[in-house]
Amino acid sequence: MSTPDFGKVAVLMGGASAEREISLLSGTGVLHALRSKGVDAHAFDPAERELWTLKTEGFSRCFIALHGRFGEDGTIQGALELMGIPYTGSGVMASSMAMNKVMTKRLWSAEGLPTPRSCVLGPDQRSAADLQRVLDTLGLPLIVKPPHEGSSIGITKVTQAEQLAPALALAAQYEPEVLCEEFIVGDEVTCPVMGSGADATALPVVRIQAPDGAYDYQNKYFTDAVSYRCPSGLPATEEAQIARIVLAAYRALGCRGWGRADLMVRASDRKPFLLEMNTSPGMTGHSLVPMSARAQGISYEDLCLRLLALTALDASHPPRRSA
């Protein structure tokens, strides 16, 4: 089967976020995969080139391999909308919502979807009384994280009360507002999604087994200490329940193209809890969407091609009126 003519394709990678290093790894993998399929693909780093040159240099569409801020938070999507260049992944609103873990949890809670209990502390809420309120509400252990970062950046698992203040200080290095979240004891899983609306489908669940539960930045990308199970080994009923919840979460946010939800399955009652939705998931050698796709018989190269075929814009662009 011949590869469709996608025109000149920019693989957006790098960028200015704290996840730049991982984005470069993802983008390089995507670039090589698309070229191996005969796509006229080119690397494009928005941190090093003016974004408007995408338009002046005649790019037909973009594969977004950017992670974190200015890549999956709706900003790059808004710029591409203005230029009329279709792109992979979710649109402006869904990207912006999903990037903000606080807003995502509020939306999911309003939709009746399970997500761990949480508290949000602003920059002026660091008193002993504020910290005690968090401990009284969530108990120990708990998780502290910056709401807009990914790849486990700035996250701390707090197991003792005296660890809370340093954990807040670490997260606050990335942004002033900090999210404190109930820690769910159980299996860590992830479930990718492809497609849009009623046509969106869940890919196989991946179960993550990290040493001492430390699925952190280093173990995610630079060691082989983490084991991944796909097929997950979970009962079919559990996997089906996870897929249903993930699809509902994906659609509630208005996501399109592709995404990946991270969850915890509570050991005591096997109830799944949504942690976050990634709208521009990693595509590195350790990444989970390619792993899940491979379990369904989709190679890395074919996955990249399928995602490129799902490029879209939020709005139609009528022809310009003549003066």
Q: Using one digit for the tens of pLDDT, what is the confidence trace for 243-302?
A: 999 999 999 999 999 999 999 999 999 999 999 999 999 999 889 999 999 999 999 999
| 201 φ, ψ (degrees, to nearest 5) | -130, 145
Position 219 pLDDT exceeds 50: no
Q: What is the CATH number of domain 97-114+185-308?
A: 3.30.470.20
Separation between Cα atoms, residue 200 and residue 320, nearest integer Å: 33
Catalytic residues: 19, 151, 221, 260, 262, 276, 278, 282
Per CATH, domain 8-88 is 3.40.50.20:
yes
Give mean pLDDT, residues 55-62: 97
Give ranges for CATH 3.30.470.20 in the chain: 97-114+185-308
What is the per-residue pLDDT for 318? 57
pLDDT of residue 167: 96
Q: List the single range of 72-81, 87-96, 149-158, 171-180 with lowest mean pLDDT.
A: 149-158
Rg from Cα positions in the chain: 20
Which residues of the chain form CATH 3.40.50.20? 8-88
Rounded CA-CA distance 133/302 in Å is 50
User: Could you tell me what percent of the chain has a pLDDT over 70?
Assistant: 92
Start-end ranges of CATH 3.30.1490.20 in the chain?
118-182
Segment 72-109, tens digit of pLDDT: 999 999 999 999 999 999 999 999 999 999 999 999 99
CATH number of 118-182: 3.30.1490.20
The whole-model pTM stands at 0.91
